[in-house]
Structure 1
Amino acid sequence: MPPITPQRPRLTVLGTGYLGATHAVSMAELGYDVLGVDVDEAKIGKLADGQVPFHEPGLDELLQRNLATGRLRFTTDYAEAARFGDVHFVCVGTPQKKGSLAADLRYVEAAVVSVVKNIHGRALIVGKSTVPVGTAEWVEELIAKHAPEHAEIEVAWNPEFLREGFAVEDTLRPDRLVFGVKTEWAKEMLDKTYRGVYELAAAEDREVPVVVTDFATAELVKVSANSFLATKISFINAMSEVCEAAGADVTQLARAIGYDLRIGNRFLRAGVGFGGGCLPKDIRAFRARAEELGVGAALNFLSEVDEINLRRRQRVVDLAAELVGGSLAGKQVAVLGAAFKPNSDDVRDSPALAVARKVHDAGASVVVYDPEGNENARRDLPEVSYAASLDEAAKGAEVVLVLTEWEEFRHADPVALADVVNATRIVDGRNCLDPELWRAANWEYRGLGRP
């Protein structure tokens, strides 16, 4: 008979990047004792000092509060983590392999092996990283190979569904929980791990749907969800291409079809496309895994989803060139936005930064401004200039490109901005501006998929 487990198990979070740090802090906020673990000493040092190494609204305050309570600590010592935790969350990155569409699982392997070789009792390894289907079974094989002889270690898969900019809320108040388990004990441990989430939901008179399933289904949930969202975004961007050719307005088209409850209006905003550290690499890894399983044809459509998304970036460049007379060479261009979405400083596979690079390569002088993403963007694209404000970026510009829909950009004053630029030309790469307002202020306005 298994030993009695505590009502609130002690948690470790292996990997303290965006997912891991957010999960560790949020679970501590729910009342759990949490130990965050990472091999990056600088990152651990910053977190231990109360500094979040990325921008996520509200996370700094929660980090500092839970460090002060003593519920939350950070370490680089996996042996300490093994002694501390009852449940070990694997939250490391799974980037795209160089020269391949497949996911790179080296960090998953390193984290699992580092902790399980030091576990001598009973513990649960819980995968949260987005992985190819079949990974949980592979983790079981790693445990069988590396765990001490008398250790009792089980595996579960519990995919994350965080939205950058809303990650704390998504952790504290998830719209669903998915448990991929093989035993009742593993399910019981996950229930105890999420007791704080259940209690918060009950206090707010909400329900948290819980789907208990097998490993493979749990692993497929996240990549399937991301693939569906990417497909929906690329669908409306494909319609944007048709609208441009036909003289139609994609924003009105999206509004009309969005009233259909079978379709819905979310993720139907045409623009420069999706980016970030999840959707692009996840749909590519999903295609690669389907090929390995012999069902690659089932996901061939994701190749076109990816291509449509990438085409939108070039379309912004083409519109900008059209506005300035056909060539960007020698022109000064203001790029508003570097992060792949607002309320984030994440520039991984950012459409905004990709466009900035293309405009620079076309011979333009580019000045980028992002309220949070400048520092990360400068490391990724040092060839262009960066401004500390919207007005500084736009000063002397011959065309302005709005590429991330920050509130600051959406509500910019076109009359005031006209006094700063050299020419009143603007490309709305996110369809987030009011065309009538800008045209009334004598701006040449171009939006993707709009006449």
Structure 2
Amino acid sequence: MKMTVIGTGYLGATHAACMAYLGHEVLGVDSEIGKVEALNGSRAPFFEPGLDPLLHRHLGETLNFSDSYNEAANFANVHFLCVGTPQQDGNFSADISQLRDAVSKLVPLLRGHHTIIGKSTVPVGTAAELQKLADALCVPGSAIDIAWNPEFVREGFAVADTVRPSRIVVGQRPGSQAANIVREIYTTPLDSGMPFIVTDLATAELAKGASNAFLGTKISFANAMAEVCEAAGADVVQLTEIMGYDDRIGYKYLGSGLGFGGGCLPKDVRGFIARAGELGANDAYAFLREVDSINTRRRERMVTMITKMMGGTVLGGKIAILGCAFKPDTDDVRDSPALDVAGQLLMKGARVTLYDPQAMANARRAYPALSFAHSAEEAVAGADLVVYATDWGEFHHLKPHALRDLVSTPIIIDGRNALDPWEWLSAGWTYKAMGRNF
């Protein structure tokens, strides 16, 4: 099948490459010429494991990128919308202006029957709004059908999650044939027994936000338990392990620590909160506000712990932070807990040095006043305190005894509850973590 992918950011570039991998002819379209040039040069403008090999394999054959909506209109009758829906400035609501802009540019150029399939995470009701816009802009004799096929990809696993999704959801209007088109697109994963759910537009729009709101709730629950554990002298790691053995609960997303970040989960939770409030679902609104509040105060709690461990002030102290990305296996620093903590410490007068295997360039752009090292060893050299902020696999190989000789004071705060406390304690370190008592 021939198709276009409108928007070639993280979601769109990955989706376009994966659709080519599944055997389709794909044209990715973006108004930012820099993205288009990078992708046509087989370089993704972000780090995602497995994506560059797909670009190299399919580019120029079944995959190309362009900045031309005219080319998109003439290329195919199926169009995926993958543009950004960032959080609005000053409130929790999602900004869907890029979606409106894409529809406004594409639809007047279309001739015949076209299906536009949204993948971006949106407030419920967006598809109906875009359908009205498309109907108003559609030229006489043509027809536009807007459907929604929400994405459920995880950064660091986006390629696998796109070609082998956990489920495929299609929201469509009564009488629409969009589900049949999506079924044909995903023939390969569906042949392996993948769940395929056809529903109305509103349910499909809610699916991603509801999923992320639940995941955020689970993480924030674990972090609320960490606060209880600190007050009670208990161990949150063992507590969540005990809980996780119950298959009704499960261990995934029960990790406590600095909390969640990134360009999707916090935004989606907040967008869900905002839309619930607009719809008058006030009890849900209040509950999810507390989920977000718990997540935010983990960062404040980390700054408080650091300040206490440094004798009541961080002024003039040297602090090393291991990790800039919001999670491992990505260079995404949007709403990064690590960078948030680093920025707060910098404002309090600390000298902060960071190291991350992939996210340094993005972190420099976001926080140019911070210092950056070329390795974990360089970052901790002379440090009065070390913060373990992002759980990269590379950091699992750090040797506490060797690092002990590099720092000024051997204090480490494990912001991810990922280290072996006894290994660090036996190497002469003072080890601290949120929700644990060492």
TM-score normalised by L of structure 2: 0.98
Whole-Å Cα distance in 2 between the matches of residues 112 and 132 of structure 1?
17
Whole-Å Cα distance in 1 between the matches of residues 71 and 286 of structure 2?
45
1:6 — aligned with what?
none
Worse-matched range after superposition: 227-236 or 254-263: 254-263
Whole-Å Cα distance in 2 between the matches of residues 314 and 292 of structure 1?
29
Whole-Å Cα distance in 2 between the matches of residues 235 and 374 of structure 1?
31
Whole-Å Cα distance in 2 between the matches of residues 186 and 270 of structure 1?
41
Contact 1:136–1:156 (CA<8 Å) still a contact in 2? yes
The alignment status of 1:424 with 2:416, answered yes or no, reads no
1:37 — aligned with what?
29
- Residue type at the aligned position of 1:14: I
- 1:166-220 superposed Cα distances (whole Å, 9 cap, x missing partner): 000000110100010123521111111212333xxx4xxx320011100000000
- 1:383-417 superposed Cα distances (whole Å, 9 cap, x missing partner): 11011111111111010001000011233110111
Worse-matched range after superposition: 368-377 or 109-118: 109-118
- 1:59-84 superposed Cα distances (whole Å, 9 cap, x missing partner): 1111111104x100000000110111
TM-superposed deviation, 1:296: 2.8
1:140-155 equivalent positions in 2, closer than 5 A: 140-155=131-146
- Residue type at the aligned position of 1:73: N
Contact 1:31–1:196 (CA<8 Å) still a contact in 2? no
1:3 — aligned with what?
none
- 1:209-252 superposed Cα distances (whole Å, 9 cap, x missing partner): 01110000000010000000000000000000110111100000
Whole-Å Cα distance in 2 between the matches of residues 231 and 282 of structure 1?
12
Contact 2:145–2:176 (CA<8 Å) still a contact in 1? no
Gaps of 5+ in 2: none
Whole-Å Cα distance in 2 between the matches of residues 261 and 299 of structure 1?
28
Worse-matched range after superposition: 289-298 or 102-111: 289-298
1:119 — aligned with what?
110
1:4 — aligned with what?
none
Whole-Å Cα distance in 2 between the matches of residues 327 and 246 of structure 1?
26
Contact 2:274–2:285 (CA<8 Å) still a contact in 1? no
Whole-Å Cα distance in 2 between the matches of residues 406 and 336 of structure 1?
9
2:101 — aligned with what?
110
- 1:74-125 superposed Cα distances (whole Å, 9 cap, x missing partner): 0000011011122100000101111121110100001111111110011110
- 1:319-341 superposed Cα distances (whole Å, 9 cap, x missing partner): 21222222111100001101000
Residue from 70, 87, 105 that aligns with 2:78: 87
The alignment status of 1:315 with 2:307, answered yes or no, reads no
Instruction: Tell me: CA distance 1:184–1:140, structure 2 relative to 1, closer, same or farther (3 Å).
Output: closer
| DSSP-derived class of the 1:353 partner | helix
- Residue type at the aligned position of 1:285: G
Number of aligned residue pairs: give it: 436
Contact 1:287–1:296 (CA<8 Å) still a contact in 2? no
The alignment status of 1:336 with 2:322, answered yes or no, reads yes
Contact 1:288–1:296 (CA<8 Å) still a contact in 2? no
Whole-Å Cα distance in 2 between the matches of residues 298 and 317 of structure 1?
30
Whole-Å Cα distance in 2 between the matches of residues 441 and 339 of structure 1?
27
Contact 1:352–1:404 (CA<8 Å) still a contact in 2? yes
1:20 — aligned with what?
12
Contact 2:118–2:147 (CA<8 Å) still a contact in 1? yes
Contact 1:56–1:164 (CA<8 Å) still a contact in 2? yes
- Residue type at the aligned position of 1:165: G
Whole-Å Cα distance in 2 between the matches of residues 234 and 347 of structure 1?
20
The alignment status of 1:51 with 2:52, answered yes or no, reads no
| DSSP-derived class of the 2:303 partner | helix
The alignment status of 1:73 with 2:64, answered yes or no, reads yes
Whole-Å Cα distance in 1 between the matches of residues 160 and 98 of structure 2?
27
- 1:9-68 superposed Cα distances (whole Å, 9 cap, x missing partner): 211000000000000001101110000000000110000011110000011111111104
1:50-449 equivalent positions in 2, closer than 5 A: 50-68=42-60, 70-182=61-173, 183-198=175-190, 202=191, 206-449=192-435
Whole-Å Cα distance in 2 between the matches of residues 296 and 128 of structure 1?
27
Q: Alignment RMSD, CA only?
A: 1.0
TM-superposed deviation, 1:421: 1.0
| DSSP-derived class of the 1:117 partner | helix
- Residue type at the aligned position of 2:6: L
TM-superposed deviation, 1:298: 2.3
- 1:279-326 superposed Cα distances (whole Å, 9 cap, x missing partner): 111111111112221223322111111111011101111221222222
Contact 2:326–2:335 (CA<8 Å) still a contact in 1? yes
Identity %: 52
Worse-matched range after superposition: 260-269 or 338-347: 260-269
TM-superposed deviation, 1:260: 1.3
- Residue type at the aligned position of 1:145: A
| DSSP-derived class of the 1:300 partner | helix
- 1:333-390 superposed Cα distances (whole Å, 9 cap, x missing partner): 0011010000000000010100111111111100010100000000001111011111
Moved segments of 4+, more than 3 Å: none
Whole-Å Cα distance in 2 between the matches of residues 85 and 422 of structure 1?
62
- Residue type at the aligned position of 1:310: T
- Residue type at the aligned position of 1:119: L
Whole-Å Cα distance in 2 between the matches of residues 410 and 133 of structure 1?
41
